[in-house]
């Protein structure tokens, strides 16, 4: 309707609209037909057809006059995670990393140019909410997290530029890298030392250290990271101990993947 000037018309509008409806239902926490129709600039009758179809396919439930996403999404989400190669071979190690450092440990990968968390574990000292049961935040940009930068540093240059061009270098704190040259220099450093740091670049008072996880073929699959308050992530612990442990965890996960990929790729 409004903006797909560059992309080829090889996509299905009906499917696209269905996706919009799913995302709108999530955002609105359920909605009625009229509300949705107004929100998405569709006719009531069309909106109704979409909802009826999604309901029949059990992706949507209807309570009274309110349509909401069904718990099928919880099931699908858990399956997606369970099937992910990084989860299968990195879950235990991420837990150990959280245990050893006492802080939050994250396992993530890049998807569509954004950071997607696969697994988060709260270490014994970790502050904040219980991540795994709280509201999930939106996906992060890659350039202001440690794990994200670790991934960016090992992406093919072409894809790096594609992502930067598409997502931009949004600023979140005074420390956020917003300049492409600074970023490139930082990524070179990361490649050299084998890990990345996030020094209050996303959230004031929060530091993090992340290391990339690569496939046997050398393609970056994702990263592990540890994050915590600057008060605890400082001095030698921040400069040496945590990086060592994070890099070690990444290496162990790589080894796990390596051992499991004896089978053919197809």
CA dihedral 145, 150, 155, 161 (to 10 degrees): 40
* Contact range with a copy of itself by CB under 8 A, out of 4-12, 150-158, 205-213, 236-244: 4-12
Give SS3 for 230: coil
Which residues have a Cβ under 8 Å from the Cβ of 264 and sit 6 or more positions away? none
Q: Does 263 bind a copy of itself (CB under 8 A)?
A: no
Count other C-beta atoms under 10 Å from residue 44's C-beta.
Answer: 13
Residues in contact with DNA by the rule CB under 7 A: 8, 10, 12-15, 17, 32-35, 42-46, 48-52, 62, 65-66
Distance CA 96, CA 65 (A): 47
DSSP-derived secondary structure letter, 131: G
Q: Does 73 bind a copy of itself (CB under 8 A)?
A: yes
259 binds, among a copy of itself, DNA, none (CB under 5 to 8 A by kind): none
Q: How far is the CB of 54 from DNA (least distance, A)?
A: 12
Q: Are 209 and 197 in contact (CB under 8 A)?
A: yes
Transcribe 57-72 into DSSP letters: TTSEEEETTEEEE-TH
Question: Measured from the CB atom, is 132 or 191 closer to a copy of itself?
Answer: 132
Question: Measured from the CB atom, is 78 or 191 closer to a copy of itself?
Answer: 78
Residue selected from 112, 231, 236, 263 as contacting a copy of itself according to rule CB under 8 A: 112
Q: Does 134 bind a copy of itself (CB under 8 A)?
A: yes
Q: How far is the CB of 73 from a copy of itself (least distance, A)?
A: 4
């Amino acid at each position: 309707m409004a903006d797909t000037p560059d992309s080829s018309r090889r996509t299905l509008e009906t499917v696209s609209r269905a996706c919009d409806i799913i995302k709108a239902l999530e955002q609105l926490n359920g909605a009625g037909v009229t509300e949705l129709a107004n929100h998405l600039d569709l006719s009531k009758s069309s909106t109704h057809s979409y909802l009826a179809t999604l309901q029949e396919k059990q992706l949507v439930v209807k309570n009274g006059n309110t349509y909401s996403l069904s718990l099928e999404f919880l099931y699908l989400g858990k399956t997606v995670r369970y099937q992910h190669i990084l989860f299968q071979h990195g879950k235990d190690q991420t837990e150990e990393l959280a245990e050893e450092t006492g802080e939050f440990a994250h396992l993530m990968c890049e998807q569509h140019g954004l950071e997607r968390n696969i697994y988060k574990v709260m270490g014994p000292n970790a502050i904040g909410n219980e991540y795994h049961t709280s509201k999930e935040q939106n996906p992060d940009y890659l350039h202001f997290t440690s794990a994200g930068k670790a991934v960016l540093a090992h992406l093919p240059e072409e894809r790096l530029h594609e992502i930067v061009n598409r997502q931009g270098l949004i600023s979140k704190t005074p420390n956020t890298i917003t300049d492409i040259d600074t970023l490139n220099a930082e990524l070179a450093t990361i490649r050299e030392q084998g890990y990345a740091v996030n020094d209050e670049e996303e959230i004031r008072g929060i530091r993090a250290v992340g290391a990339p996880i690569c496939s046997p073929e050398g393609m970056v699959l994702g990263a592990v990271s540890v994050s915590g308050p600057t008060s605890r992530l400082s001095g030698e612990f921040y400069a040496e101990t945590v990086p060592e442990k994070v890099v070690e965890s990444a290496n162990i996960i790589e080894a796990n993947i390596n051992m499991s990929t004896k089978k053919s790729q197809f």
